[in-house]
């Protein structure tokens, strides 16, 4: 058994996972602001458990001295996408980054595994700034759809239970489920534009509600109490009827009321 201090050994990998999660979540936020749609749905990450590292080293015949180069996924990042088309796009964004280096890629979507596993993997070198200086660590970035991730999570749990020796019937059913997940992804891609339009409409409507309620509250701040009460009454009626056009008109009215009183109280200052 290896006698190394595992806590110290894994520290750079912990740091790499946390930093990469933050960076990809930031990428998601920036893309959403720039394009009103982000190909990244959400990001997770983990450091491989010691028992899993030892199991994989034994399976791949990697010596304890070569763990840092022989086990590529001690640090793991998963990026989930809504649509299959988004996976290639995210991969291209990663290739363009200057803060990591892509060593190689594994396309298990075009060339999915016999089990039915589908995902896009990128093995990268990532520099971590430790207390003792810079250290380059390997990390695996998995990019997949939500359906692919659901299937892979279930398969991983079952493989752990059966120690990689799944009963034939279980394998058959899992492969059938993987095919069903692929069909689902294809169907979602076929109506992708309609889904995106619906999602944008929902977000736009949510923003109108948020802005309108904030504006009504601001009426009280400017002592326009009767106007605020009337605006709230109209809001309640319009919201009950789900009249978004009426709510947008009400938002414009309330903004104009605030703008008018600000011109009197704060000349030159615009809403």
Q: Which residues are catalytic?
A: 140
Half-sphere exposure in the Cβ direction for 78 (13 Å, CA)? 15
Please give the sequence-ordered ranges of beta strands (E in DSSP) within the chain, or none if there are none: 42-47, 75-81, 101-107, 120-130, 133-145
75-81 and 133-145: which strand pairing?
parallel
Give the C-alpha separation, 250 to 189, whole Å. 37
Tokens, residue 111 = 């060339």
Task: Report helix, strand or coil for 255.
Answer: helix
Note whether 118 and 108 are within 8 A (CB): yes
23: nearest Cα among 11, 40, 6, 48: 40
CA dihedral 145, 148, 150, 153 (to 10 degrees): -120
Half-sphere exposure in the Cβ direction for 92 (13 Å, CA)? 6
Give the C-alpha separation, 145 to 185, whole Å. 8
Residues of 11-46 as b/e, b for ≥16 C-beta within 10 angstroms? bbbebbbebbbebbeebbeebeeeeeebbbeebebb
Q: Which residues contact 159 (CB under 8 A, 6 or more apart)?
A: 166
Note whether 231 and 254 are within 8 A (CB): yes
């Amino acid at each position: 058994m290896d006698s190394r201090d595992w806590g110290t050994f894994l520290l750079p990998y912990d740091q790499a996972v946390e930093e990469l999660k933050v960076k990809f979540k930031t990428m998601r936020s920036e893309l959403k602001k720039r394009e009103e749609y982000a190909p990244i749905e959400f990001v997770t990450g983990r450091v491989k458990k010691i028992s899993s590292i030892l199991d994989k080293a034994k399976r791949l015949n990697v010596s304890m001295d070569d763990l840092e180069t022989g086990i590529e996924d001690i640090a793991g990042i998963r990026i989930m996408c809504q649509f299959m088309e988004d996976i290639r796009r995210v991969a291209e964004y990663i290739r363009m980054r200057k803060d990591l280096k892509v060593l190689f890629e594994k396309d298990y979507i075009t060339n999915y595994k016999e089990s039915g596993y589908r995902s896009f993997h990128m093995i990268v070198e990532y520099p971590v700034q430790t207390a003792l200086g810079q250290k380059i660590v390997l990390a695996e970035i998995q990019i997949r759809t939500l359906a692919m991730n659901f299937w892979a999570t279930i398969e991983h749990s079952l493989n752990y239970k059966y120690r990689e020796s799944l009963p034939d019937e279980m394998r058959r059913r899992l492969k059938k489920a993987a095919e069903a997940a692929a069909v689902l992804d294809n169907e979602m891609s076929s109506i992708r534009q309609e889904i995106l339009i619906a999602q944008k409409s929902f977000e736009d409507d949510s923003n109108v509600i948020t802005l309108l309620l904030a504006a009504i509250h601001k009426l009280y701040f400017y002592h326009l109490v009767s106007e605020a009460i009337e605006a709230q009454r109209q809001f309640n009626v319009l919201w009950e009827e789900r009249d978004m056009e009426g709510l947008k008109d009400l938002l414009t009215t309330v903004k104009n009321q605030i703008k008018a009183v600000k011109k009197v109280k704060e000349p030159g200052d615009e809403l």
